[in-house]
Structures are given as structure tokens and as C-alpha cells.
Amino acid sequence: MTTAPRTVPASEPIADVHATVRARYAEAALAATADPATPGRSEALESCCGDDGRVVFGSLLYALDERAGLPDAAVLASLGCGNPTAVAELRPGETVLDLGSGGGIDVLLSARRVCDTGRAIGVDMTDEMLELAEANAREAGVTNVEFRKGAIEALPVGDAEVDVVISNCVINLAADKAAVLAEIARVLRPGGRMGVSDIVADDALTLAERAARGSYVGCIAGALSYGEFRAGLAAAGLVDIAIEPTHAVAEGLVAAIIRATKPLGWSGVDHDRLAAALPSSRATRALAVVDAGACGCGSGNCC
């Protein structure tokens, strides 16, 4: 059964989160091409570290050989919490979709891995990031890529169009996470898989406790718990769900690799079950702190 994309309602919580995230990442996109000597160029572009000095966000989570040969602006604009291309086991000829593709670093790395016979698609809702990503692709001489404008809650991608879905610290930013998980299931081909980096909360943490640890734009306040991720992905009809922590980002919160597969006999998304498995966008937004300096990149705990 094919499940059509659900229209995301333009409710106040969703619109508010979109506007906040868009503004933060537009500023980062513009700063990525600015003079490095510009004072206060962009807090969002700092590679952020924990209190013990370990890198927990940013481009330094990519190996040096992966960064080599990429445009400086693509590397600089990386604001994620992991390296999904390193774990997605991409193969030549596959079509890869990157949710919230930003400056394009994961799209460009994916394009390398799937070779000329494959394709990498990036989706982002920020005009400035899309322009930066396209410029980075031209500078890198990569032609098997495409960037599309859209929200990850309503992807501009056809049913069963892609083999792999990746993202880097983006699902936690989504205003309607149930819609995102449903969309991932819809666009994957039967047998396709997701391999995303994201922030995951301990099951014991309440929404209020997650919100107290950070902001939406800092990649923390919107984090799902282990149990919520597993239940949500299962309700979307995905199987072989695995969550592998990679490093701590705050008390009770980790960066993790989340994997799942769309079965050959996929029967569609159980939207009622999915909605019941996850916090509502209104509840999450009501507790979230959305000032840019609350935590994450720009909090003062940066390298």
C-alpha cells in the first residue's frame, strides 16, 4: 500500500519552529562565505565541544580525508552531530536523499560513494543554504547531485524514489516529527534503508527536562527518546530498527546513529499509532527555548 504524503498544517507551533530554524541556518549559510576575519561572524558555525573538550557538533566529526577536496564553505557550514555517510553503507548506483542538506557536505560525500551511476538529492527549506549548496557542488565539479526546496515534513520527493535516506542532526529540529518519519517511509523504495545521525534522549528524561538542556536551534530541545524513536519508526512500518550512541552531548542526551529498513512487503504508515508514539509538536514547542544562545553551537562551550 502506498501512503501519500500528509499535508503539514500551518499551525502556530510548526510555523514558529520553522521560522526560528530557518533564520538560524540562513545566517550560518551567509557566514560560511564571509571573510573569516569578520568579528562575530556566526556562532552557528563554531565546532562545538562538550565540557571535556570533545567535539560534539560540527565539521570536525568528519575525517580529514573526507573533508579533503570539498569546498571550504561546504565544510564550514556543517552543523551536524555526526557523519551519516560513514555508516549508511552507500553503494554505486544508489539514489540517496539527505534531509536538511544545508551547505551540501553530506550530499557531496554521498555523490562520491554512489559514483556517476548514482544520484544524491538534498532537501532544505532555507534559500541561503540551497544557494550555498549549489555553489559548493559547482566548485567541487560534482554533477550527480540535485537540491530541492522543501520541508522535511512534506518532502518534494516521489513515492519510493530513493534507496537511502540520511540526515545529520535534523530530525530533532523538525516541528512535526511524526510527519518526518512517515515521509521517510514513503519515499524509500521497498528494501531501502535509513541511516541518520541525530540527538537521542534517555527514556527517563521528560520533555521539560530535554527543553531545559537546550534550544531547537542548538539541536537538543527537540530530541526524541530511544523509545519514541523505536515506536515511531515501527509505526511508520519500518523494521530492523537500531540506535547506536556515538558520543554524549549533554546530560542524558547522546548523538547516535539511527538505522531502519523499509520491508519489501511494506503495508503503509499507521498514522494514528505514529501520532500516539511521539510528543505532539505543540507540546514540544511549548517547552522549547528558542533563543540562539541557549545551548549547542554558540553556547560558549566551543572549540
| DSSP secondary structure, 211-258, as one string | HHT-BTTTT-TTPEEHHHHHHHHHHTT-EEEEEEEEEEEETTEEEEEE
Flag whether 170 is in a domain. yes
Flag whether 298 is in a domain. no
**Three-state secondary-structure class, residue 284:** helix
Flag whether 100 is in a domain. yes
State residue 273's pLDDT score.
97
Which residues are 98's β-sheet partners?
A: 122, 166
Mean pLDDT within 226-244? 97
Q: Could you report the per-residue pLDDT of 105-120, keeping only the tens digit for each?
A: 889 889 989 999 999 9
Flag whether 295 is in a domain. no
Flag whether 142 is in a domain. yes
Flag whether 61 is in a domain. yes
State residue 40's pLDDT score.
47
* pTM, full prediction: 0.75
Domain count, the chain: 1
| CATH code for the domain of 242 | 3.40.50.150
Flag whether 223 is in a domain. yes
Which residues span the domain enclosing 125? 12-32+45-287
Q: Could you report the per-residue pLDDT of 121-133, keeping only the tens digit for each?
A: 999 988 888 988 8
Q: Could you report the per-residue pLDDT of 159-208, keeping only the tens digit for each?
A: 999 999 999 888 887 878 999 999 999 999 999 999 998 889 999 988 88
